[in-house]
Structure 1
Amino acid sequence: MAAQLLLTALCVAFVALNGIEGATDAKYKYVAILQPSTFFEAWQDCNIKGGHLASIESPQEQARVEKAMAKARDPRAVFFFGGTDLGRKGRWMWIHSNKPIGNGGYTNFFPGQPDNGGGSQDCLTVGVADGYNRGKWDDQNCLYRLDGYICAFKSPSSSAS
């Protein structure tokens, strides 16, 4: 009887925890696509596939993007995601939602970034899935053909836009 009660309690706890995680952290499924692309090609391809370039607005979303990068199985790959300052230099925005980056308090830039090196770095990248700068953000030229990009797809159980 005690074993049944313990098993029931564990099952209830497991279901409750999964429900909490799904409600607070599963608006999007992130996919790292290894396909050499410019920012604009990546943006178009994500849209064609029914998603958008990823916005990373919390440590939880960052962790899920890093998991997607690890599944791509190229620890040196650098990916475009959905941040840009193309509209106004130094004003970084999420291209999907047109919200300012860091508006919710979260950013993950590599120290000293963004630096607009060469005067033409207007799109955000995330890369190096292993090591010191794992998952850190950097600005890069939008026309460079990088290793791939991170798409976000609405989760079936979410009403996120």
Structure 2
Amino acid sequence: MNRWLPAPWLSAGLFVLWLLLNQSVSLGQLLLGAVVALVVPVLMAPLRQRAGPLRHPGLLLRLILHVGLDVVTAALGVGLGMLSAGRRPPRGRFVVVPLELRNAHALASLAMITTVVAGTVWSELAPDRSAVLLHVFDLDDDHEASFIAHFKQRYERPLLEIFE
């Protein structure tokens, strides 16, 4: 089963996506969607990484809830910052955050978290994975250390416990 269907969820997603993109459920589209859903995961299997270790699922759930809350509050903060930009323009700046994470899955998760939280952009990862360069929408010089401490405590620490 794994040889012919190495990623069943990916196959299901590809099949549904095929039908949605073609906006048709004709017999031909169903067959083409099934072929794509079966062939693409088999061809791409050598490129996929093995699943990462997942420890502390309760901590993972709490991290997801924290990120959801941060997405909403950061979006509101960026929105208010844009509305008040005429009176006080945002002070965007680059911040280097030292990292303890080395696991590829944990780093990918951290990159996704950084991307979805409004006001932060993952700009560069050091070649030795020891630091990440982030762009922050609005940050005073005085608050850089507190931002780094918050970022590490809120996102990196839970990911360390979950993946490493």
Which structure's relative contact order is higher, taking Cα pairs within 8 Å and 6+ residues apart?
1
Greater share of strand: 1
TM-score using structure 1 length? 0.29
Larger Rg: 2
Greater share of helix: 2
